[in-house]
């Protein structure tokens, strides 16, 4: 893990509250940290970014990016960039994607603010546009606050392809699977929670670790296609955010819907850069 120092007062507050290893913060925890540090919410979020940056795996760029997604529920979710060894850079997961994916996995229906340590690239601006929240989405940077609409003028989004709503809070899928395998059923639940209005390729991944933890991922598709977030990227992001290592993976499963595209080959290739454990695939 890369050491990127936190503000000393914040580090002390996190340690005293038992939150030093947290990757998500509840509203009461946010309030307690704000009180302990005498920081307002925006200043606190910016001060917490090094905690997210420490989770980054930037094997190519050496540029560690941290992000926080502030959910409509008041919960805060950390995200960090993840670059996959030996694979092209388009397999990389950006910090903003990681934070939004993290929020999605925790059931958030909307995102109020994205806090990030560096200005979001065009890829991330397009990905955030899939939230379909217009100017209600705020991007907080160290240099100040911006509206997504100002950072992405004349945007192409879901409405241009006849899709209403965004990637969070959409109706669940109806995929079914005759199985008593809890790992497959967990992956099925992620597939049903995925956002795939353009391809119809609902997909979910679950990685089982040797300590009993499950790292989950679901497909979050984008109107511009390329910024789509794959279920394997999301699951590996959860692994890294939680301080896990590829060597801890004991089983990996993918459940996906038959569609004009499929996740398996890319997911298996990405997984192979972290573990020799094979990827089990079930297609519905």
Query: Tell me, what's the pLDDT at 17?
Result: 95
> Helix, strand, coil proportions of the chain in percent (round to 5)?
35, 20, 45
- The catalytic position among 83, 96, 108, 190 is 96
From CA 49, how far away is CA 117, in angstroms rounded? 6
Please give the pLDDT value at position 170. 83
Q: Walk along the chain (284 residues) and give the pLDDT tens digit of each residue.
A: 566 889 999 999 999 999 999 999 999 999 999 999 999 999 999 999 999 999 999 999 999 999 999 999 999 999 999 999 999 999 999 999 999 999 999 999 999 999 999 999 999 999 999 998 877 899 999 999 999 999 999 999 999 999 988 999 888 999 999 999 999 999 999 999 999 999 999 999 999 999 999 999 999 999 999 999 999 999 999 999 999 999 999 999 999 999 999 999 999 999 999 999 999 999 99
10 φ/ψ angles, rounded to the nearest 5 degrees: -70, -40
Quick check: is 265 catalytic?
Answer: no
Provide the pLDDT for residue 75: 98
pTM of the model: 0.96
Domains of the chain: 8-161 (3.40.140.10), 182-283 (3.40.140.10)
């Amino acid at each position: 893990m890369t050491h990127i120092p936190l503000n000393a007062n914040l580090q002390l507050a996190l340690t005293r509250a038992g939150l030093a290893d947290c990757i998500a913060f509840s509203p009461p925890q946010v309030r307690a940290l704000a009180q302990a540090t005498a920081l307002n919410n925006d200043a606190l979020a910016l001060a917490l970014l090094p905690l997210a940056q420490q989770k980054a795996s930037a094997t190519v760029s050496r540029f560690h990016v941290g992000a926080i997604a502030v959910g409509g529920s008041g919960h805060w979710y950390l995200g960090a960039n993840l670059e996959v060894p030996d694979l092209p850079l388009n397999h990389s997961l950006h910090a903003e994607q990681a934070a939004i994916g993290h929020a999605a996995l925790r059931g958030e229906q909307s995102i109020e603010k994205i806090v990030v340590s560096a200005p979001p690239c065009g890829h991330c601006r397009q990905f955030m546009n899939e939230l379909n929240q217009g100017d209600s989405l705020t991007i907080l940077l160290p240099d100040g606050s911006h509206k997504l609409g100002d950072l992405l003028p004349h945007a192409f989004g879901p409405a241009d392809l006849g899709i209403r709503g965004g990637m969070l809070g959409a109706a669940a899928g109806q995929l079914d699977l005759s199985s008593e395998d809890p790992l497959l059923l967990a992956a099925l639940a992620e597939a049903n929670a995925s956002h795939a209005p353009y391809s119809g390729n609902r997909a979910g991944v679950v990685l089982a670790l040797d300590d009993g933890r499950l790292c989950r991922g679901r497909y979050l598709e984008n109107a511009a296609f390329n910024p789509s977030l794959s279920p394997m990227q999301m699951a590996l992001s959860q692994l890294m955010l939680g301080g896990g290592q590829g060597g801890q993976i004991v089983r990996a499963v993918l459940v996906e819907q038959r569609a004009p595209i499929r996740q398996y080959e890319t997911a298996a290739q990405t997984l192979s850069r972290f573990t020799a454990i094979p990827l089990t695939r079930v297609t519905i």
